[in-house]
Amino acid sequence: MRSSLHFLAGAEGAPGRAPSEERPSDDEALDAYSRVVIAVARDLAPSVANLRVTRRLRGGRTAMGGGSAVVITPDGFLVTSAHVVEGSRSGSASFVDGREMRFAVVGADPLSDIAVLRADAEDLVPAQLGDASGLRVGQLVVAIGNPHGYAGSVTAGVVSALGRSLPVGRRGGPRRMVENVVQTDAALNPGNSGGALVDGGGRVVGINTAVAGVGLGLAVPINDATRRIISTLMADGRVRRAWLGVAVGPRPLPPRVAGRLGRGNAVEVIEVVDGSPAALAGLHPEDLLVELDGIRLEGADDLQRMMTVERIGAAVRATVVREGELRAITLTPGELPE
């Protein structure tokens, strides 16, 4: 009892510490996590724009849409999600400092869900682009958007998974898988598509692109492939890709062939588009693609990675399993139609 009374007496200021000394300062109360989020939000807010977009619909109608975008150069280039500006050529961008300006769509690539815009400005604050290939599961990330115009939206969380794939593409057009999508539990509010996913160092490591479910967000990664797409859109306004005209999926190899090749999987041709390069080369449904120009194919993404602009019109040698036998076929990829 005496010790308790002594403690209480100290708390009232008799022989103990003064109440003001017991409470931490505001700086001390902020943990490292909070400091990082506050710093990232402060530094990135001027670089994230709110977009207002007018879309053209069938029958001459129009519809309003919106999203966010990230400034990448002082002279007005911004990056957003392709689906945010789908069906539009221009719109308006507003920033947290109250400025509002027109932008034009320089180019959009639905097959990576990346678009580049150009705003009427020469003094924007660019964000620093990072590299998502260095992310680790559990790492702190901050999602920053500008869904309402003059007030940015900030949510924080962790990288919950890496290596996910996201199906993208224009409605009614070709579809493709974006590889190595970043999955995070940082909440993505309405209008945050096209905004920035940022690491603790303030570097943009992804472009927020979709809400896949409660507590689940996805972002297209910023990496070497994405940087090339952004540069190509800035220079040419479009991204060219090679095309064979096949739908494929993974398939185990027949045991005898698997033993001979020393591996178990290949890519099955599920469908061949009439008149496509694959059809002209004699590729058939149920053929198993084993190699293309000596590169092993074990999944659809392996074939997708090879369909770069350099292969358009260039003959490639394919190794195919047909009726249990290995065969060689020469394919000449065309250009993927828009």
- DSSP string for 12-76: TTSSS--HHHHSPPHHHHS-HHHHHHHHHHHHHGGGEEEEEEEEE-GGG-EEEEEEEEEE-STTS
Q: Are strands 316-322 and 128-129 parallel, antiparallel or unpaired?
A: unpaired
Q: Smallest Cα–Cα separation from 291: which of 256, 253, 337? A: 253
Q: Is 18 exposed, middle or buried (0-12, 13-18, 19+ CB in 10 A)?
A: exposed
Provide the residue type at 315 as one letter.
Answer: A
Give the separation between CA 254 and CA 333, rounded to whole angstroms: 27
Catalytic site residues?
83, 113, 193
Phi first, then psi: what are they for 21, rounded to 5°? -80, -20
Give the separation between CA 146 and CA 141, rounded to whole angstroms: 17
How big is the CA angle at 22 (ends 20 and 24), to the nearest 5 degrees? 85
Q: Smallest Cα–Cα separation from 227: which of 328, 131, 110, 157? A: 131
